[in-house]
């Protein structure tokens, strides 16, 4: 479907109506934050945000609206994702007070707490009565992304999950269904195992290439998210909890990587080097039958918001109305990446910073934000998934939102691995995966190299301390398949 530019006009009308009306019509928690923030008029809050498209929503919508309501200016400090934790780490040593709010990836929470970079939010949650409204945050995010050692340090602000997106029209085509069943002996349907995924991908590649291939997957710096998910659904465990020796290069690990490498034969030429943009473009452009991806693909493939200036770089969808959504093969989808908001421990304006976080993540304001097409903020509250407005954005929006809710309910999602200095482990894994994808090493050789680096990291950080961190993570309900 063709999304009209009127959504931007609608948000601007809302903005203008607030300029002329002294009456706040939003939910109590948003109102309460605005009212309490009046005493801080004239302040400026420095907030880190991911550089590029992800920062557009706060720059164009949230920050101007908050300033109009409260007189508090938001200075957005744009950082690349890889620059964010180093900036947090530097601030923990310098204690300069240059930042007030950090936008953090949840599996970095332990590091942020450990180095004293972020402040507990509990006093403010109690003072402003915000705890009850946090129950509306989807269970997997609420239970796993907010707290460490019994204290709340971060409020979820994005519901990142990866799931299966497929061409429903190709799967439902009578000719395809007949030919597939004749060849494989079972019905053509969204795959529930990686074996059937590969058979279906091979069927479509054999039937339609070079115009269409069965699949393509992200093989760049984000590839570790997909390996970690599949490794666990194949039965893998990252470490021996007693010795803290890694099992990343176990038979299960090697089998998982071999499957990922072999899958490249089912993809378009050159897809072994594809990243976020290439895979997104291939699916939206009708060049692949299915892929595993983050929620923006589900919206944008339906044409939602593609007429907005901020999304002019996204190809016009050739598959709108033809997209299906499903749990990732293996029965679990990764709760991969995501973002939360935390207060810098060295901010001199902690209460004002907290009030902005409460307002930004409140039930009503967050619902407006996750529906802005270019926001890259995915739904993360139960009220987002159930919203009549959101469920009417395109014909299949209810199916899309129901799937995201199922994954984030706590039953079908898998948490990103979280350890002390997890960024170093992720970098080592990514480099190993890349070597295997490009044929520079066999899967066994690549993972042996990764394992050696992981074991050295563990020893350098401290085996006992890392064991405590790993055991705390592994005890969470979404760490491994149940």
What does the pLDDT look like over 189-203, one tens digit per residue?
Answer: 999 999 999 999 999
**Angle at 336 (CA atoms; ends 320, 11), nearest 5 degrees:** 50
Q: Are the CB atoms for 410 and 461 separated by under 8 Å?
A: no
Residue 342 included in any domain: yes
Residue 129 included in any domain: yes
pLDDT-based confidence at 204, cuts 50/70/90?
very high
Given a cut of 50, whether residue 14 has pLDDT beyond it is no
More confident residue, 369 or 15: 369
Q: What is the DSSP letter of 344?
A: B
pLDDT-based confidence at 253, cuts 50/70/90?
very high
Residue 42 included in any domain: yes
User: What pLDDT shows up at residue 4?
Assistant: 39
pLDDT above 90 covers a percentage of the chain that reads: 93
Tell me the residue range of the domain where 115 lies: 6-160+338-410
DSSP 209-252: TTT-EEE----STTHHHHHHHHHHHTT--SB-TTT--B-TTSHH
Residue 47 included in any domain: yes
Q: Mean pLDDT over residues 94-121, rounded? A: 97
Residue 425 included in any domain: no
pLDDT-based confidence at 27, cuts 50/70/90?
low
User: What pLDDT shows up at residue 460?
Assistant: 98
More confident residue, 279 or 18: 279
What residues pair up with 469 in beta bridges, in sequence order? none
Do you find a cis peptide bond into 210, omega within 30 degrees of 0? yes
What does the pLDDT look like over 419-460, one tens digit per residue?
Answer: 999 999 999 999 999 999 999 999 999 999 999 999 999 999
User: What pLDDT shows up at residue 85?
Assistant: 92
Given a cut of 70, whether residue 468 has pLDDT beyond it is yes
Given a cut of 70, whether residue 264 has pLDDT beyond it is yes
What does the pLDDT look like over 305-324, one tens digit per residue?
Answer: 999 999 999 999 999 999 99
Residue 232 included in any domain: no
Residue 306 token pair: 């593609």
User: What pLDDT shows up at residue 206?
Assistant: 97
Count of structural domains, the chain: 1
What does the pLDDT look like over 381-398, one tens digit per residue?
Answer: 999 999 999 999 999 999
Give the chain's mean pLDDT. Answer: 93
The enclosing domain of 375 has a CATH number of 3.40.190.10
CA-to-CA separations, 462 to 274, 395, 454, 465, in angstroms, rounded: 36, 53, 12, 5
pTM recorded for the entire structure: 0.92
User: What pLDDT shows up at residue 25?
Assistant: 41
User: What pLDDT shows up at residue 429?
Assistant: 98
Q: Mean pLDDT over residues 44-64, rounded? A: 96
User: What pLDDT shows up at residue 180?
Assistant: 98
């Amino acid at each position: 479907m063709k999304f009209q530019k009127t959504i931007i006009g609608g948000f601007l009308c809302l903005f203008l109506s607030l300029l002329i009306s002294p009456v706040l019509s939003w939910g109590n928690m948003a109102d309460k934050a605005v009212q309490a923030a009046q005493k801080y008029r004239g302040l400026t809050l420095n907030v880190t945000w991911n550089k590029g498209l992800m920062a557009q929503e706060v720059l164009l919508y949230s920050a101007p609206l908050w300033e109009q309501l409260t007189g508090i200016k938001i200075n957005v400090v744009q950082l690349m994702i890889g620059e964010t934790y180093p900036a947090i780490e530097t601030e923990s040593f310098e204690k300069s007070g240059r930042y007030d709010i950090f936008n953090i990836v949840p599996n970095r929470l332990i590091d942020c707490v450990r180095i004293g970079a972020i402040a507990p939010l509990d006093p403010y949650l109690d003072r402003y009565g915000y705890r009850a409204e946090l129950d509306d945050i989807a269970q997997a995010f609420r239970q796993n992304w907010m707290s460490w050692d019994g204290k709340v340090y971060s409020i979820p602000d994005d519901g990142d999950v990866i799931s299966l997106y497929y061409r429903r029209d190709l799967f439902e085509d009578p000719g395809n269904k007949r030919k597939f069943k004749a060849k494989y002996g079972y019905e053509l349907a969204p795959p529930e195992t990686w074996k059937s995924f590969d058979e279906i991908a091979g069927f479509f590649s054999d039937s339609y290439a070079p115009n269409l291939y069965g699949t393509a997957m992200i093989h760049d710096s984000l590839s570790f998210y997909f390996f970690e998910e599949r490794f666990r659904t194949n039965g893998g465990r990252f470490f021996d909890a007693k010795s803290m020796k890694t099992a990343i290069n176990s038979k299960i690990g090697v089998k998982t990587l071999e499957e990922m490498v072999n899958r490249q034969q089912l993809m378009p030429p050159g897809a072994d080097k594809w990243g976020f943009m290439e895979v997104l473009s291939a699916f939206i452009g009708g060049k692949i039958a299915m892929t595993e991806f983050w929620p923006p693909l589900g919206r944008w493939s339906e044409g939602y918001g593609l007429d907005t200036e901020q999304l002019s770089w996204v190809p016009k969808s050739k598959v709108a109305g033809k997209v299906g959504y499903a749990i990732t093969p293996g029965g679990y989808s990764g709760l991969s990446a995501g973002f939360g908001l935390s207060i810098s421990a060295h901010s001199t304006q902690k209460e004002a910073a907290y009030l902005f976080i409460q307002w930004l993540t409140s039930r009503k304001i967050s619902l407006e934000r996750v529906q802005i097409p270019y926001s890259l903020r995915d739904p993360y509250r139960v009220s987002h998934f159930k919203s009549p407005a959101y469920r009417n954005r395109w014909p299949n929006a209810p199916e899309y939102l129901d799937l995201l809710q199922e994954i984030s309910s706590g039953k079908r999602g898998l948490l990103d691995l979280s350890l002390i200095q997890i960024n170093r482990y992720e970098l080592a894994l990514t480099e190993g995966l890349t070597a295997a994808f490009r044929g520079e090493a066999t899967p066994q050789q690549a993972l042996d190299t990764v394992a050696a680096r992981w074991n050295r990291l563990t020893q350098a950080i401290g085996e006992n301390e890392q064991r405590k961190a790993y055991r705390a993570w592994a005890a969470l309900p979404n760490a491994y398949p149940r």
